[in-house]
Amino acid sequence: MKIDLNCDLGEGIGNDEAIMPFITSANIACGFHAGDEKTMRETIRLAKRFNINIGAHPSWEDRENFGRVEMNLSPDEAQKIVSYQIDLFSKICKEENAILSHVKPHGALYNQSARDDELARVIVHAIKSVGEDLILVGLAGSRSIEAGIKMGLRVAREGFPDRRYNSDGSLVSRNISGAVIESSIEVAHHALTLIQAGGLDTLCLHGDNLNAVENAKLLRDVLEKNGVDVVGIS
């Protein structure tokens, strides 16, 4: 078995460098929910130093709520917002001689596109306008993954060991107590359960989790001890 281990970074939490030794892909905030051009550049350089995949992490324009409040924009407005962030991030990657490998929407944008066909297509269009060879990271079994496949984009099906799931495969809302798993041991056990169920290419850890560094360290150790090859998506 093999799996990619990704983490949302460049969000101003301050633990990026401590997490990077244990992951294989970084999703870097593009300024709309967190970060700015300076932090994008710094995080890209860190990712290059640790030789991990570099991805754009676009969001709704919502720094006040960390991009975790749903918005209802027209398809044109949504495409402009997503395209702007990916374009800017791609430009910075080129300036830093870094390779942009994937795009993973953030927060509410991610969850809405997982169930909204039109928004999912908008995101795929935005990604393809930057690069046909980019990979879309999305929730396994979601509309976003379906749209990516239908429109000829490479996809990486994602699972969340530090989040609880609803019976339909969606993520339990962060507004519900216990939605986020804090225990590093429980996170590691949940990861193994998700991998054994099949159908995943990557697992996500959230950099803003209280135990993010410990989660990453323990999870990497547990995966490798259980015969899981932790490698970047490609």
pLDDT digits (tens, 9 = 90+) for 84-142: 999 999 999 999 999 999 999 999 999 999 999 999 999 999 999 999 999 999 999 99
What's the pTM value of the predicted model, to 2 decimals? Answer: 0.96
Q: Cα–Cα distance between 125 and 136 in angstroms, integer?
A: 11
Is residue 137 within 8 A of residue 55, CB to CB? The reply is yes
- What is the share, in percent, of the chain residues with pLDDT greater than 90? 94
Q: Which CATH superfamily is domain 2-230 in?
A: Glycoside hydrolase/deacetylase (3.20.20.370)
Residue 206 confidence (pLDDT): 87
> Phi, psi at residue 84, to the nearest 5°?
-55, -45
Q: Residue 6 has what pLDDT?
A: 98
Q: What pLDDT does 209 receive?
A: 81
What is the per-residue pLDDT for 84?
Answer: 98
146 exposed, middle or buried (CB, 10 Å; 0-12, 13-18, 19+)?
A: middle
Q: In the prediction, which pLDDT does 208 show?
A: 84
Domain boundaries, the chain: 2-230
Confidence of residue 234 (pLDDT cuts 50, 70, 90): confident
**Does 166 score more than 90 pLDDT?**
yes
43-90 confidence digits (pLDDT tens): 999 999 999 999 999 999 999 999 999 999 999 999 999 999 999 999
Record the tokens describing residue 232, joined without a space: 């970047």
- Who has greater pLDDT, 217 or 208? 217
Given a cut of 90, is residue 207 above it in pLDDT?
no
